Structure 1
Amino acid sequence: MTLSVQFLTMLSMVGSGCFIGVSLDTYSRFLMRSKRAKWIVFINDVFFWLFQGLLLFYVLLQVNEGEFRVYILLALLCGYAAYQSLLKKMYLAVLEWMIRFAVGLYRTALRIGDFMLVKPVTGLTKLLIAIVTGLVIFLWKLVKWLCRLIFGTLKVLMAPVIWILKGLLKLVPARIRKFFHNYFKKAAGFCLKILNMCGNLWILRKKKK
């Protein structure tokens, strides 16, 4: 391994140590360990450190073809320590600002979307419902009024006919009127019996099922 390769390896490991510190703080900030179940934290930790290990190996593979030396570990620790002592507070402040900015931007987008999309659509829907409801009520009242008008007109027009029929009915002999009365009464009773039989058969069929 040449000196230039060793120098690049040292710089890469120092940078990787800083990156691990940044990643660890970011990961801890978003994970919120106190609010998560222990098994979820454990699984996330395993994947996090597995990713860090693979990334570190990839960096080594690109810089010195994956050769590992003791000073590489020392450089990694130096980079992590440098981040903890010099950059951590500044990075956490920047991270919090970025989070607040993203949350504010998200809320602003929601408000704009609510103002420009949700409220107009909701208002238009309510207006259409009100128009349709009013139209249905108006048509129903109009139909009722027309029915009353037609019924009243027919009642007035048919009044003379009814009077004439009543007068003619009085001219019919009492025996004939009694005959037709009894006939229609028997027919009505027969129809009721048939309906009762059909109803009983339907009930029995339902019980058998």
Structure 2
Amino acid sequence: MAARTAPRAPGTEDTRTRLLATALRLFSEHGVEGTSLQMIADELGVTKAAVYYHFRAKDEITEAVAEPLLDTLARITEEAAAHRRRGAQIEHLLNGFVDLVVGHRVLVAVFSSDPGVARAVEKTLHHAGNFKERMLAVLTGPDPDVATLVTANVTLAGIALAGGSPELAGVDDDALREHLLITARRMLGRPRPRH
């Protein structure tokens, strides 16, 4: 999905991984626009040329930061759609999406609030096909009315916004997951699944 650089030399994967983790932290503190390649290099203790070795531009870094989350979301959506029963499709999508949001709170917070990440996500989605439409299709079924579409959109956006909310940063993962699922099911008019 994100632009690929030339094959990496042995030992560079750790630098690339650290670079992406550093970029995400700086994006969460300063926003994408407020984070320069020089800031990333300084934080890593490397030269700007070392950053350019891995990525030609900040947009490529932003796309690479977003890519694993988007890949996982696409996989969850495909798995959900493969279930036979609509109820199972919806539950799989909700559980997978909530797990993803809770497991990547910082990234989700940046996704939800930073226009620079939104641009990278849109570019990545363009290359991957629009799985957001597929997510909505799982939640709404065929030929949804406006009310159903609004409810599905608000549910997905609400999960992401609440999951990445600084006000909920102190809530432990299990409690946040449970409350997000309860709220999402309530919004969609879904019963709590039986175990």
Of the two, which has the highest radius of gyration? 1
TM-score (norm 2): 0.24
User: Structure with the greater relative contact order (CA < 8 A, sep ≥ 6): 1 or 2?
Assistant: 1
Give 1 or 2: higher helix fraction: 1
Q: TM-score of the superposition, structure 1-length normalised?
A: 0.23
